[in-house]
Amino acid sequence: MIAIIGAGKMGEALLAGLLSTGHDPADVLVTEPRHEHAQELRARYGVEVVPAGSAAERADTLILALKPQDMIGLLDDIGPKLTADRLVVSVAAGITTSVLEKHLSGSVPVVRAMPNTPALVGRGMTAVAAGHYAADEHLDRAERLLSTVGEVLRVPERHMDTVTALSGSGPAYFYFIAETMIEAGVLMGMPRETAEKLVTQTIVGSATMLRESGEHPVVLREAVSSPGGTTSAAVRELERHGVRTAFTDAIEAARDRSRELSEG
Ligand SMILES: NC(=O)C1=CN([C@@H]2O[C@H](COP(=O)(O)OP(=O)(O)OC[C@H]3O[C@@H](n4cnc5c(N)ncnc54)[C@H](OP(=O)(O)O)[C@@H]3O)[C@@H](O)[C@H]2O)C=CC1
Ligand SMILES: O=C(O)[C@@H]1CCC=N1
């Protein structure tokens, strides 16, 4: 039995992903404090919504998808119910396995994971790192579970804050670029629907090419940049406005915020 504790944006994306890839709703418990949302989850997914204490007693794998700020309170509640034969998978940004372990009793195995919302469409990217008591079998179990909603990579825990800044928050950067490009098209008089279609398919096509060609992004960008042409003119403006530095600084800020979240 799997329990998802906290079915907000990420928890629900994982829930939907797991069910759409063949997990039986009867094997999935969900904890969600807001009554209305709990009713929606029952109706939409056919899962049982139970209090956290009951999920902790019944599930062998618990996925904790609460806000980092709510995590310690929850762990203090359910910790005493968890034994070393369970697996706790936390997707919370910043919260280290040692913080999680400190609030659990004994030697409960903990895996820290960082998924992203494309899990909802089976195209997620998740990184996982093992805590002190998690053996390979626990990492395997977490990996099997999360690979139903996309790709999974094992990383040393010291990289998890950078993972969070790159792939955890990453979808938001691409949506931000998409939004900006669409608005630019609209500004130039193009119907919104046309701009949305052009931009969305350009992002999908570019991402597919990046993955399938195995080429470095610079090589792919050069192939778009005809001598004396439009792309070079555009890229010069991006460089002039410091977009590269802005991205690097943004990703560093996300990494730093992730570190801060572990401090409470
Ligand atoms: N969103 C994303 O793209 C990603 C998020 N994450 C991580 O996932 C976690 C959740 O983030 P996100 O989904 O964005 O946030 P949300 O606020 O959407 O989700 C948090 C959910 O937890 C519920 N909740 C609060 N307290 C409890 C409790 N005691 N027991 C059970 N459920 C509780 C909230 O209910 P209510 O609304 O009623 O308070 C809400 O549904 C965070 O730790 C975040 O770092 C990781 C990767 C990507
Ligand atoms: O914004 C956040 O804090 C979470 C973690 C990664 C993506 N969303």
Q: What is the pLDDT of residue 17?
A: 86
Encode pLDDT of 58-76 as tens digits.
Answer: 999 999 999 999 999 999 9
Task: Enter the pTM of the model.
Answer: 0.96
* Separation of CA 169 and ligand 2 centre (Å): 5
Is ipTM strictly over 0.95? Answer: yes
Same domain, 151 and 27: yes
Answer yes or no: is 10 a known binding residue: yes
Judge if 202 and 246 occupy the same domain: yes
- Which residues make Cβ contacts (< 8 Å) with residue 79, sequence separation at least 6? 103, 104, 105
Residues 83-91 have a mean pLDDT of 96
* 163 inside domain: no
| Shared-domain flag, residues 109 and 198 | no
Same domain for 57 and 148, yes or no, is: yes
The terminus-to-terminus CA distance of the chain in angstroms comes to 30
| Of 158, 183, 216, the domain-final residue | 158
Task: Count other C-beta atoms under 10 Å from residue 197's C-beta.
Answer: 12
Which listed ligand is nearest to 116 at the C-alpha?
Answer: 1
Nearest CA to ligand 1 atom 40: 8
- Is 9 known as a binding-site position? yes
CATH code for the domain of 146: 3.40.50.720
Average pLDDT, the chain: 96
Number of domains in the chain: 2
Residues of the domain holding 106: 2-158
Give yes or no: residues 143 and 201 share one domain: no
User: Using a 6 Å cutoff on CB, does residue 124 contact ligand 1?
Assistant: no
SS (H, E, C) 182-193: HHHHHHCCCCHH
Domain membership of residue 165 (yes or no) is: no
Q: Is the CB of 66 under 6 A from ligand 1?
A: yes
